[in-house]
Structure 1
Amino acid sequence: MASITTPDSDLYTIFVVEDHPTTLAGIHSILQRFGSKIVVETLKTLQEAREAIQQLPPNLLVLDLQLPENSREPASTETGIQFLKDLMQTYPHLNIAIHSSYPDALIRILPDIDNHRGGFTVTNKDSSTEKAFERFNAALQGYTHTRDIRSLKAGLELKPEWLSTLDLACTEGYQDRAIAKHLHVSESMVRNYWSKIYDVLGIYPEDEKEEGRNLRIVTCLKAREEGLVD
């Protein structure tokens, strides 16, 4: 494992946990699109990843799911899923980008993903370079994008606090500060709720901003279409 470097304030630290050389080369090629703004550390086992994160949690973790615990053991999706579940509990604000050939395995821990406060995105290794870069960047910015695994489950599933946020915003016209006060949570938690709501409704903030649309209006319209608010 390469030594961990503490980046300058203007740099992002990205850990890549991947043991396949060809895939690793592809990920590094994608990350080059961030330019000189990043410091990348490569880790090949879950043990290396665990130790590195304990020493210095990164701004973004790019993680395969089929990984070995150490250099003496075979790669396993089960091991990777358990590592991810434990990681989200220990580091609830860590930004995570899953880059795996087995993203369907995440459906088993979807409740844990919904509770995670950091960015969380998913891409299949077969995805285009453009799509992978967009998902990595979204996770780095704290956004959630799990449509690829949510499509495996029928219907919309929103937690009660997400529904309350929608109701207060779309029915009562509350802004985030008022929503936070009403729900007795921080404004950052309300922003986390919105990230989860966007993901479930299939609304992606960057796309809406590029089109010049008001994100709150788009979200409320979509919520009404789905019967989530009056």
Structure 2
Amino acid sequence: MKRIRLIIADDHPVVRAGLQGMLASQPDFEIVGEATNGAEAVALVVALQPDLVLMDLRMATMDGVAATAQIRRQLPTLPVLVLTTYDSDSDILRAIEAGATGYLLKDAPRDQLFSAIRDVAQGKSALAPTVMTRLQTRLHSSGGDGLSVRELEVLTHVARGSSNKQIARHLHISEATVKSHLIHIFSKLGVTDRTAAVMVALERGLLSMETDRE
């Protein structure tokens, strides 16, 4: 059985201890490091090369969003699962735009957390049901024409100038899947190329100019 090597990043000792105890009950999880802020998380990730990072959002020195963005820049294939008490639209979107592969709330049931860790470690997305609902509502209300969360992730990387190969590596999917997502995006937005898709997405509020600076 392959063990999933984890780093926990959270500024509350009680939370870290609770997660340690909870995750220790699973034979395929191994905690290899703990960080009390985003800067420590980035340093630990570079030093220890874990399989996954459990990331809190609100931390001193460097918050979880900034740490996630930095981690994904240095190690593009390393998945980050956000585990937080905050579920506002801005928090969720900032985390996903920074490259978070999953987003769970700290009151999630143990089994949901365990499943999310295993899914994210395998390259799948893991979003809490309330988070998924918020994203879908935002997409529909902003004229997203039904873009899925994964399609929005692909479009975000397109806006950053990433190639299909880079997007595939970052999202742990094949280039053929990226192309399929782009075809669906073009169809839903009524465009025929990547540049037009990004422009329409910016106009409709699906993407922000901050995307380009990640």
Could you say which TM-score interval applies, normalised by the shorter chain?
0.5 to 0.7
Report deviation, 1:47. Answer: 2.3
Q: Measured at CA, do residues 193 and 150 of structure 1 come closer, stay the same or move farther in structure 2, by a change above 3 Å?
A: farther
2-structure distance, mates of 1:110, 1:36 = 26
The residue identity in structure 1 corresponding to 2:92 is: L
Over aligned residue pairs, what C-alpha RMSD do you find? 3.7
Q: Does structure 1 retain, via aligned residues, the 8 Å contact 2:82–2:102?
A: yes
Q: Does 1:110 align with 2:100?
A: no
Unaligned runs of 5+ in 2: 141-145, 156-162, 189-214
Q: Which deviates more from structure 2 when the two are superposed, residues 31-40 or residues 10-19?
A: 31-40
Structure 1 residue 83: Cα displacement: 2.0
Among 33, 58, 71, the residue aligned to 2:25:
33
Structure 1 gaps of 5+ residues are 1-8, 70-75, 164-182, 201-222
- Residue 67 of structure 2 aligns to a residue in which SS? helix
- State the AA in 2 paired with 1:28: Q
**Where do 1:47-86 residues align within 5 Å?**
47-69=39-61, 79-86=63-70
Q: Does 1:126 align with 2:104?
A: no
After TM superposition, the score normalised by the length of structure 2 is 0.59
Task: Give the number of the structure whose alpha-carbon radius of gyration is greater.
Answer: 1
CA separation of 1:11 and 1:130: change in aligned 2, threshold 3 A = closer
With the length of structure 1 as denominator, give the TM-score of the two structures.
Answer: 0.56
Q: How many residues align?
A: 159
What is the distance in 2 between the residues matched to 1:108 and 1:14? 23
Query: Which residue of the other structure, out of 121, 126, 131, is the alignment partner of 1:149?
Result: 131
Question: 2:7 aligns to what SS in structure 1?
Answer: strand
**In the alignment, structure 1 residue 89 sits paired with structure 2 residue 102:** no
Give the Cα separation in 2 of the matches to 1:123 and 1:24: 15
Aligned-residue offset at 1:12: 3.2
Distance 1:23 1:82 in 2: 21
Give SS of 1:83's match.
helix
Identity %: 16
Aligned-partner residue type, residue 157 of structure 1: L
